[in-house]
């Protein structure tokens, strides 16, 4: 009987993770193919497809802000998820119909992503009250995200090569219908509002300190924005690079070669593999008293991003001389880029949580993801230069952007460390 009780308590978490997995699978199944198919099947150029992809990614992130407002004022978490899945299913349906409906499909996907993402993240966060269980729930949730990101491009590429674009879109729509069924299975009693906890004392302090926190946050976002412009090239110019300048036949061993979109499964797979590796490295560094500060980890992430783009610039120059480079070049680049993401995204959220009062944390998180969205939009515009610049020059420019971000954070390193110490001191004083 205790086993049944334990299983019943874990069931909501399992269902939430499955819903998120299906949504990520659907997204990556179709959008790993987007910039390859749309220029062929529609009357737009590769540059326009790249720009459209960037705008769509940006709007999808920005949609979390109005989605959160809907969640707070009009709908429950469960209702927001159901509404979001319904709208996104319509979006994939439009993508699977006539070529001229592509923008309608993207519009419904943006409209659905706001309430869905706000609702599903709130579900995961409200399943457990205890800190340890809450953190573990988010770990499983993030694994579900990356699991869908790994499998989606592989399945999408296989379906596309055999049955075409429409079949891949209908597969994504069917996946979301499964998610809709799971959302309806989730009972209101298992995902209702958690009991309120005691309100914590205000840690904001003086207006001067609040201004300092805001200034540091803006500086950190400006630095990371330059990284996201390069990171979001994975869905556009890096796909073109894989298609045109990488030997996807593995030296003639594969016929036909690997699909260019299949490489988009690498970031999710590498994230799952490298996460524990990086935690072990940080733990070993602490044991020998060489611990990186939080700002130091962010700077490391930006330097890794710059190294990735410099590595790709060298690969592009080599490909320009010999025609193509081996797959190992792209694998190494994605490994470096994933390590950079690991040092930036979770560490950045951790730093925000330590800088600002808890009651303002959701507002700052929304702004943080707004910066990620802006990075995706700018990435699409920068990607339009792909066909106008030498590819080595293009990647060198992206490397310089990340280096500029590292320089900004290096200038803010001392104020950030001081602000963290002050925040920890005030937290300890508030807790008595």
pLDDT digits (tens, 9 = 90+) for 309-361: 999 999 999 887 667 899 999 999 999 999 998 888 777 766 776 777 655 66
The CATH 1.20.1250.20 domain(s) of the chain lie at 7-192, 206-432
Check residues 314 and 55 and name the one with the higher pLDDT: 314
pLDDT band at residue 236, thresholds of 50, 70 and 90? confident
Assigned CATH topology for domain 7-192? Growth Hormone; Chain: A; (1.20.1250)
Provide the pLDDT for residue 303.
Answer: 97
Among 50-64, 189-203, 254-268, 319-333, which is the least confidently predicted range?
Answer: 189-203
- Pairwise CA distance, residues 115 & 85, whole Å: 9
**Architecture category of domain 206-432 in CATH:** Up-down Bundle (1.20)
| Best mean pLDDT range from 49-58, 191-200, 222-231 | 222-231
- Pairwise CA distance, residues 59 & 52, whole Å: 11
Check residues 275 and 30 and name the one with the higher pLDDT: 30
- Pairwise CA distance, residues 234 & 240, whole Å: 9
Provide the pLDDT for residue 304.
Answer: 96
Q: Cβ contacts of residue 347 below 8 Å, gap of 6+?
A: 294, 297, 298, 301
| Best mean pLDDT range from 295-304, 355-364, 409-418 | 295-304
Paired with 325 in beta bridges are: 246
Check residues 14 and 41 and name the one with the higher pLDDT: 14
Provide the pLDDT for residue 206.
Answer: 63
- Pairwise CA distance, residues 48 & 306, whole Å: 26
What angle separates helix 266-287 from helix 327-355, to the nearest 10 degrees? Answer: 60
Q: With beta carbons less than 8 A apart as the criterion, state whether 148 and 24 touch.
A: yes
Global model pTM greater than 0.75: no
- Pairwise CA distance, residues 265 & 197, whole Å: 40
Residue 308 clears pLDDT 50, i.e. is over it: yes
- Pairwise CA distance, residues 210 & 189, whole Å: 38
- Pairwise CA distance, residues 142 & 345, whole Å: 12
């Amino acid at each position: 009987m205790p086993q049944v009780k334990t299983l019943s308590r874990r069931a909501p978490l399992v269902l939430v993770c499955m819903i998120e997995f299906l949504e990520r699978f659907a997204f990556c199944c179709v959008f790993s193919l987007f910039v390859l198919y749309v220029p062929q099947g529609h009357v737009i150029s590769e540059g326009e497809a790249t720009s459209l992809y960037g705008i769509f990614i940006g709007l999808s992130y920005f949609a979390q802000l109005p989605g959160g407002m809907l969640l707070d004022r009009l709908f429950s978490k469960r209702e927001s998820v159901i509404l979001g899945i319904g709208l996104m299913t319509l979006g994939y349906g439009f993508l699977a119909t006539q070529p001229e409906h592509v923008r309608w499909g993207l519009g419904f996907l943006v409209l659905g992503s706001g309430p869905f993402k706000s609702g599903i993240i709130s579900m995961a966060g409200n399943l457990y009250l205890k800190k340890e269980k809450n953190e573990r729930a988010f770990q499983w949730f993030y694994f579900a995200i990356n699991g869908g990101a790994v499998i989606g491009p592989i399945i999408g590429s296989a379906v596309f090569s055999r049955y075409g674009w429409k079949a891949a879109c209908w597969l994504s729509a069917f996946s979301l219908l499964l998610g809709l069924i799971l959302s309806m299975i989730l009972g209101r009693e298992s995902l209702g509002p958690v009991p309120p906890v005691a309100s914590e004392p205000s840690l904001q302090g003086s207006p001067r300190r609040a201004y300092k926190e805001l200034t540091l946050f803006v500086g950190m976002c400006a630095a990371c924005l330059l990284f996201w412009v390069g990171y979001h090239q994975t869905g556009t110019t890096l796909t073109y690079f894989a298609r045109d300048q990488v030997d996807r036949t593995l030296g003639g061993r594969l016929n036909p070669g690997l699909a260019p979109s299949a490489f988009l499964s690498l970031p999710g797979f590498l994230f799952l593999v490298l996460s524990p590796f990086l935690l072990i490295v940080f733990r070993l560094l602490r044991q020998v008293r060489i611990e990186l500060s939080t700002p130091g980890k962010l700077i490391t992430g930006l330097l890794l991003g710059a190294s990735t783009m410099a590595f790709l610039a060298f690969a592009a120059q080599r490909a320009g001389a010999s025609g193509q480079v081996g797959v190992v070049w792209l694998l190494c680049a994605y490994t470096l880029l994933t390590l950079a993401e690991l040092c930036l995204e979770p560490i950045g959220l951790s730093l925000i949580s330590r800088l600002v009062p808890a009651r303002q944390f959701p507002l700052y998180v929304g702004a943080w993801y707004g910066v990620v969205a802006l990075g995706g939009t700018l990435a699409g515009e920068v990607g339009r230069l792909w066909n106008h610049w030498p590819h080595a020059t293009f990647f060198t420019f992206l490397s310089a952007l990340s280096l500029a971000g590292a320089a900004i954070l290096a200038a803010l390193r001392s104020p950030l460390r001081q602000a963290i110490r002050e925040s920890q001191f005030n937290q300890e004083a508030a807790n008595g």
